[in-house]
Amino acid sequence: MPGPSPGLCRALLGLWAALGLGFLGLSAVAQEPFWADLQPRVALVERGGSLWLNCSTNCPRPERGGLETSLRRNGTQRGLRWLARQLVDIREPETQPVCFFRCARRTLQAQSSPSGSTLWIPTRSLSGPLVPRHVPLNPRVSKKLWLPFPERPDRVELVPLPAWQPVGENFTLSCRVPGAGPRGSLTLTLLRGAQELIRRSFAGEPPRARGAVLTATVLARREDHGANFSCRAELDLRPHGLGLFENSSAPRQLRTFALSPDRPRLAAPRLLEVGSERPVSCALDELFPASEAWVYLALGDQRLSPDITFEGDALMATATATASAEQEGASQLVCNVTLGGESRETRENVTIYSFPAPVLTLSEPTIPEGKVVTVTCSAGARVLVTLDGIPAVLPGQPTQLQLNATEDDDRRSFFCDATLGVDGETLSKNKSAELRVLYAPRLDDSDCPRSWTWPEGPEQTLRCEARGNPAPSVHCARPDSGAVLALGLLGPVTRALAGTYRCTAANVQGQAVKDVTLTVEYAPALDSVGCPEHITWLEGTEVSLSCVAHGVPPPSVSCVRSGEARVLEGLLHVVREHAGTYRCEATNARGSAAKNVAVTVEYGPSFEELSCPSNWTWVEGSGQLFSCEGDGKPEPSVECIGSEGTSEGMLLPLAPPDPSPRVPRISSELVPGIYVCNATNRHGSVVKTVAVSTESPPQMDESTCPSHQTWLEGTEAAALACAARGRPSPQVRCSREGVPRPQRLRVSREDAGTYRCLATNTHGTDARTVTVGVEYRPVVAELAASPPGGVRPGGNFTLTCRAEAWPPAQISWRAPPGAPNIGLSSNNSTLSVAGAMGSHGGEYECAATNAHGRHARRITVRVAGPWLWVAVGGAAGGAALLAAGAGLAFYVQSTACKKGEYNVQEAESSGEAVCLNGAGGGAGGSTAAAEGGTEAAGTAEAKAGGEVFAIQLTSA
């Protein structure tokens, strides 16, 4: 009979392997509970918004899973142990989603509920029936997922404030935000203007809670008058991805007040005459705000219209009281001040009376000089009159006075006094009258002086007044030219008005004549004709400095050099030290005038060694021009022309006398040699010989001193390769920045760092920074297992490999043959295994490689099974496992162990995951070292036939 086919053999071997893995899986299930979880359990979304639900499990290999919900779905994303589904256009605040996975022939289920309870999968005892653990009574009935819709704070209401609030008393602020929510995301703030009074957050409130109220008691202050109070609501949904929503109430203005307990102060006359007007006032202090107070002021039944003024917290109301004949007798003046609904009042008694004025008459108000006039004074009944101190015989009778009019009686006033007793007081009134006496003009020296002296410039009123009645007219004119003075008018005084004038005064009674002289004085003046601003002298000549000034009275003139006190007089023998500024001052009784005169002394050119050196060295690249300046007035022009050792007629570039940002560059082909410099101005010329030589400062670049240099560890120590160009030849020194480099015979990695090389000569320095890198062979510095000492079946372990190398080393691993489900980190420095099996036990090797060599270390991992597994397995189980292992090895070797790229997520549940570094190398692999031991670099290389594979991470 023919033997079984190769495919059947492979299937049988796979079945035995599956049986072994099943027993191993049941052992792991018996030790660890599995669950399904649904997130989020409470979410906050806007109406019509979207939400992602995430369903996950810790089952290592779930058969299938799902997420059921009645809401609209837009898309689904899946992984090995999770799936996510997007809910869109959410219109209902509640739903009942169900998350489930199939694991080990049992269903794991999670519901979205606020309690978030964990479900446990039932497990089978090794010697008994299935025993459920923490299984919900009805696992298919899910609880609701609460999806509260946020409500923005569209209405923020502040309770109205009192119309007036006394200062120093409390009032209540209350804010209400109906419907806004959820309340746990709401914050209310009571504000005085922009100042926060109280702020409250409602964090911790249940998601269904809506609306909020905030109340505060506030002490009224003066500064609160006119202040706006408001309430601000903030709904912060940013933690839920929805943003921050704010709103504020309409501001409400508070009016505070303070009213003194004292009565107003009323100031009023005790007596008031019929038809007369008298001021009355009412004042009150300690008012706030005083401008808001209302004042009532009345005399009897007559209400007055007061003018109210304020000064701080004080109020003053003033008015004019007018009494009528109907009010004659006793009356009352009332003042009432009202503020904030409270009033203060004061009353005063006033007596109203009638008192006609006396009558004063003249027989002739205007009379010629020398005639007689009669004056009469009279009044009503009960009134006693007095004329110029002469009383009447009895009350009610008149009194008279007669006189012969003279010039002295012109504009004489006569007084008639009348007295009357009212309410215990004596009242008086008077009347006056003026007598006019006609007489001819008089020109007195007091009113029209014979000599006038006025300063020029300010406006003056020219007066020549004459006495006389009627008032005479006065006319002043020059007898020679007929020029007239504008008398009585305000006008400027000029020197042209000076001279002698004849003044004539005339009226109907006659005329008077008088001669007057007008003198106009003015301050000195120095003009450019008599005293020029600039004067030029020539050195060696004789000159004098004089200035002529104009003024009345005639001024005196003196000239002094700036910084000196001696007045300059007489002839001077000119030297260049006489150049400078001189101040000439002219003085008279009306003032002084000063003028600065600039004196320039000119002289022929000359050369000084400091301003034009005989020897000059040009430093190449410095851009510095040769400076050769000649001394002279005016400033001479200087030109330097080549002679010996240079091309005939070559010009030497010179630095300008004044610094300029645009300086001509020196040609790099400047020829050294002898140059002749010539300085010339209009007073002569002078020459000087200059010798020119050239040099250059140090210079280093990449060609003479590379900025990056590399050494190899262990080679013979050498100095940095740096050189510099320059004249004279520069010296180059290099030193390490930071920690100094110790003296060594061989290169060490500690020699790596930054070095500074400095080139120096007499014209300066040049520096370069050199970075030195030291490369070295790799060394596996650390190879450790976590947890140490082995792992039980189904457990997790991690191997960490750290290498020291430059350039950085590439890390590779060699694993025991047939070890599945091995994961590597992105840089291969960490090897991890989840759910360890017996095939994971054995020797692991980590190798580090770079351009200078390779180094490897090995570590042994032990996977120790439970004692119950060994007891039950027995001999039969051992045989079955051996057969399954042989089949698995044949299957893995024939199908899975291939070079290539694998999807890590898919490989977690397939045999392809074991094809990691070292698979298939059992025949040619290296000998195992002690656990955690290190192998020498010479023996750590992989032997022939030991292929190294790796998994490349790719996206699913």
Q: What is the DSSP string of 803-854?
A: EEEESPPEEEEE--TT--SEEE-TTS-EEEESS--GGG-EEEEEEEEETTEE
* Cβ atoms within 10 Å of 253's Cβ, excluding its own: 11
Q: Is residue 170 pLDDT above 90, yes or no?
A: yes
Instruction: Look up residue 29 and give its DSSP letter.
Output: H
Select from 449, 435, 416 the least CA-distant residue to 516.
449
Taking the CA atoms of residue 85, residue 88, residue 91 and residue 93 in that order, the dihedral angle to the nearest 10 degrees is 30
Q: Express each pLDDT in 663-682 by its tens digit.
A: 555 665 677 888 899 999 98
Q: How confident is the model at residue 480 (pLDDT cuts 50, 70, 90)?
A: confident
Q: Are 640 and 629 in contact (CB under 8 A)?
A: no
Which 8-state DSSP code applies to residue 491? E
Helix (H) or strand (E) holding 347: strand 342-353
Average pLDDT over residues 135-158: 61
Biggest alpha carbon distance in the chain? Answer: 188
CA 122 to chain centre: 66
Half-sphere CA count of 622, side-chain side, radius 13 A: 16
Q: Is the dihedral of CA 558, 563, 568, 573 positive or negative?
A: negative
Output DSSP code: residue 578: G
482 or 297, greater pLDDT: 297
Cα(778)–Cα(854) distance, rounded to whole angstroms? 6
pLDDT of the residue at 220: 92
In a 3-state reduction of DSSP, which class is residue 268? coil
Cα–Cα distance, 307 to 605 (Å, whole number)? 87
499 pLDDT more than 90 = no
Alpha helices per DSSP H over 468-549: none
Q: Which segments within 117-164 are labelled E, that is strand?
A: 123-124, 130-131, 145-146, 157-158
Burial of 783 (0-12, 13-18, 19+ CB in 10 A): buried
Alpha-carbon gap, residue 736 to 193, rounded angstroms: 64
pLDDT the model gives residue 336? 94
Q: Residue 661's pLDDT is what? A: 56
Please provide the average confidence, as pLDDT, over all residues in the chain: 80
Statement: residue 696 has pLDDT above 80: yes
Q: Which two tokens stand for residue 39?
A: 């997130």
Percent of the chain at pLDDT exceeding 90: 32
Give counts: helices (H), strands (E), the chain. 3, 69
591-607 and 534-538: which strand pairing? parallel
CA distance 30 to 792: 14
Q: What pLDDT is stored for residue 927 in this prediction?
A: 28
| Segment 24-48, tens digit of pLDDT | 444 444 445 888 888 886 667 767 7
Q: How far apart are CA 829 and CA 781, in angstroms?
A: 12
Contact 375, 362 (CB under 8 A): yes
206-229 burial string, b = 16+ CB within 10 Å, else e? ebeebbbebeeebebeeebbebeb
Q: Per-residue pLDDT averaged across 820-827, rounded? A: 90
Model confidence over 587-627: pLDDT tens digits?
998 899 999 999 999 998 999 888 899 898 888 877 788 88
Residue 164: per-residue pLDDT: 92
533 near 545, Cβ under 8 Å?
Answer: no
Higher pLDDT, 399 or 743: 399
Query: Is the pLDDT assigned to residue 10 strictly greater than 80?
Result: no
Q: Residue 481's closest CA among 498, 493, 495?
A: 498
Tell which wins on pLDDT, 68 or 865. 68
Please, which pLDDT band fits residue 413 given cuts at 50, 70 and 90?
very high
Pairing of strands 822-824, 830-833: antiparallel
Q: Are strands 764-786 and 822-824 parallel, antiparallel or unpaired?
A: unpaired
Output the pLDDT for position 886: 45
C-alpha to C-alpha distance for 602 and 634, rounded to whole angstroms: 6
Q: What is the pLDDT of residue 854?
A: 94
Q: Is 773 left (phi over 0), alpha (psi -120 to 50) or beta?
A: beta
**Whole-number Å distance between alpha carbons of 361 and 374:** 8
Q: What pLDDT shows up at residue 111?
A: 57
Say how far apart CA 476 and CA 513 lie, in whole Å.
10
* Euclidean distance between CA atoms 160 and 197, whole angstroms: 17
pLDDT at residue 669 in the model: 65
Closest listed residue to residue 192, CA positions, set 247, 230, 164, 246: 230
pLDDT of residue 738: 78
For every residue of 38-97, DSSP letters joined together read EE-SB----TT--EEEEEEE--SS-SEEEEE-SS-EEEEEE-SSEEEEEE-S---SEE--
CB under 8 A, 24+ apart: contacts of 749-755:
749/713, 749/774, 749/776, 749/806, 750/774, 751/711, 751/717, 752/711, 755/720
Backbone angles phi, psi at 162, to 5 degrees: -65, 150
Length of the chain measured in residues? 956
CA distance 185 to 241: 13
Dist CA 687 CA 549 (whole Å) = 47
* For range 539-550, the mean pLDDT: 87
The Cα–Cα gap between 885 and 14 comes to 9
d(CA 161, CA 155): 18
What pLDDT, in 10s, does the model give residues 307-363? 999 999 999 999 999 988 888 888 899 999 999 888 999 999 998 888 888 999 999
Looking at residue 668, its pLDDT comes to: 58
What pTM was computed for the model? 0.34
Tens digit of pLDDT for each residue in 86-132?
A: 888 887 766 778 888 889 888 888 754 433 333 222 222 323 333 33
Query: What pLDDT is attached to residue 832?
Result: 94
Write the single-letter amino acid at 324.
Answer: S
Q: Cα angle vertex 366, ends 361, 369, to 5°?
A: 125
Across 370-379, 658-667, 908-917, the highest mean pLDDT is recorded for: 370-379
Q: Is a pLDDT exceeding 60 seen at residue 206?
A: yes
Pairing of strands 271-273, 256-259: unpaired
